[in-house]
Structure 1
Amino acid sequence: MVNISDLSNDLLVKILLLIPSKVAVSTSLLSKRWGSVWKLIPKLDYDDTYSASASEFIGNLYTHETLVVLRLMKVTIDDVPSTTCFRSLKTLSLLDVFFTSDKTVERLLSCFPILETLVVDRWGGENVKTFAICVPSLQSLKIRYRVGGYHDPKNDHGFVINAPSLKYLDIVDHFSGFYSLVNMPEQLDAEIHVRHCDSETLLGYLTSSKKLSLCLKPQMGSYPEGDFDQLVSLDLCVMCSLDWLNLILSRSPKLRALRLYQSRERGGSCRNSRNVRTKWEQPSSVPECLLVSLKTVEWILYKGTQEEKDVVKYLLENGNFIKTMSIGFSSVITLEERNKIQLEFESMPRSSRRCQLSFT
């Protein structure tokens, strides 16, 4: 009979990948043969929900030079040795990780020279005020910062992001008071659902985006400077962000796809916010994108308000190249009301002869 310790490292790693990461790491205590086998595992998933501290596990982790994927959940990180370097790690998830200071965050993230994907999931009540993400190699960043119910903004809590290689940015934040985006690349795809921070400043960082999804309430009389020269696709929450529609349309000459939706479809940031109000007024001049580039329009959970109807009518009357307009009705609209709306829309004048209406 073959002793398991006699197996090759490749086979032992395959075995360790089948068991929880905590157990895999503990095999280092079995014998000298097993002492460093766990360090060959390319992926670790550590959940410290039921432990008081993860310091011992983390201290082993800093010597792991071949790790490619790391997921930490509910661990406390209070120190990062100066010699730490995860030379092979490309994907990192920090899920409800408690950092003892702003500096600890900066020190940890500086240990990943080729990091490409970062997920940060925070909850209110931790020590970190400025969560600084300075990772030159980062390509995908997902941030979730949430608290239960409605909370006043923490103006001294927020994120600083410096990621010149970033391709995809996804933020759902119900808590932060500020965002600072440094060295944003061209043609970024961004989904932004933010409740409290300075919307003008944040949107101003995203003018080079190719795709935008916004659940972001404008401040009264405050709008960002600059054009959205690269923007080809826009998703907009009509519950809080419809005020942005005219501004973005007028500054997006290449826009091809427009999607309007209700915030609750994606668990958006404005669902439980106080004083959410949106308005739309017909622009004084027709935006360039309606005249030359916009081809598809989709409205999800259409409720049939006068304001919504005015937007649809305006797009049909001025969209020279719209090929399809899809209307998905909200459940609050009865079948009789749907039929009435459908007939009304089908009888509206259309600038584009090729425009096809569909209803769901």
Structure 2
Amino acid sequence: MPNLIEADVDVQLPNIKNLIGAITSVKSLAICSEAMYDEGFVFNQLKHLKLCRCKKHSSDLLVGLLKDSSNLQALDLFEMVDHDKNDMVYWNQPSTVPECILLSLQTLNCSGYAGTPEERDLAVYILKNVVHLKTTTISSVEVEVPKFEMIKELALSPRASTTCQLVFH
């Protein structure tokens, strides 16, 4: 599908290799999958990635997509409305910083932030490594995470981008 603009992928299949291979030209991708990501695809048109965080292995999926999407400009971490809230069980920090983090990523939106160690580690990793980050928006529910503690913790995190604005909702 060489002219695909946008794709919404919500699958339970154990192997999504053929599906992923068919959508590598997509410009905007929303994805939720429990399947392990098979790295090596090239998403050179992908500008906007929306990743559902409700699956245990969503960290692996995120790392694989970051490595394979050198032109990514916007990353949204969210949970689809009709999905159970399970959250990723760990943040699998990549051994090398993906190219999009160094060259093109400008926006991070994280909704449903609960302040888990995994979420915090991921947010800190993005802030610490994304060179051209312009805006980071963190949305949370007050009962799940004390706002002041969250703001203080993330605002004091080291940042690669001196112009990044942190926005809290």
Aligned to 2:110: 299
Displacement of 1:332 after TM fit? Answer: 4.0
Mapped contact 1:261–1:300 kept (Cα < 8 A): yes
TM-score by length of 1: 0.44
Query: Which of 20, 30, 41 is residue 203 of structure 1 equivalent to?
Result: 20
- The SS at the match of 2:44 is coil
Deviations 1:162-201 (A, max 9, x none): xxxxxxxxxxxxxxxxxxxxxx123431011122353233
Aligned to 1:215: 32
Amino acid of the structure 2 residue aligned with 1:279? Y
Aligned to 2:128: 317
The structure with the largest alpha-carbon Rg is: 1
TM-score by length of 2: 0.89
Aligned to 1:232: 47
Q: 2-side partners of 1:303 and 1:287: how far apart?
A: 25
Poorly superposed stretches of 4+, deviation over 2 Å: 185-188, 195-201, 275-280
Q: 1-side partners of 2:88 and 2:94: how far apart?
A: 19
Q: 2-side partners of 1:351 and 1:290: how far apart?
A: 10
Q: 2-side partners of 1:231 and 1:291: how far apart?
A: 16
Gaps of 5+ in 1: 1-183
The verdict on how the C-alpha distance between 1:196 and 1:308 changes in structure 2, with shifts beyond 3 A counting, is: same
Q: 2-side partners of 1:276 and 1:307: how far apart?
A: 9
Percent of paired sites with the same residue: 36
Aligned pairs (5 A) from 1:1-360? 184-196=1-13, 198-219=15-36, 223-240=38-55, 241-263=58-80, 265=81, 267-268=82-83, 271=84, 278-330=89-141, 332-334=143-145, 337-360=146-169
Amino acid of the structure 2 residue aligned with 1:227? V
Per mean C-alpha deviation after superposition, the further-off stretch among 224-233 and 252-261 is: 224-233
Q: 1-side partners of 2:127 and 2:87: how far apart?
A: 27
The verdict on how the C-alpha distance between 1:279 and 1:204 changes in structure 2, with shifts beyond 3 A counting, is: farther
- Greater RCO between the two (CA within 8 Å, min separation 6)? 2
Displacement of 1:338 after TM fit? Answer: 1.6
The verdict on how the C-alpha distance between 1:312 and 1:227 changes in structure 2, with shifts beyond 3 A counting, is: same
Deviations 1:230-284 (A, max 9, x none): 1000000111133211111111111000000023x3x24xx39xx9864321111
Gaps of 5+ in 2: none
Q: 2-side partners of 1:253 and 1:203: how far apart?
A: 16
The verdict on how the C-alpha distance between 1:200 and 1:303 changes in structure 2, with shifts beyond 3 A counting, is: farther
Displacement of 1:225 after TM fit? Answer: 3.4
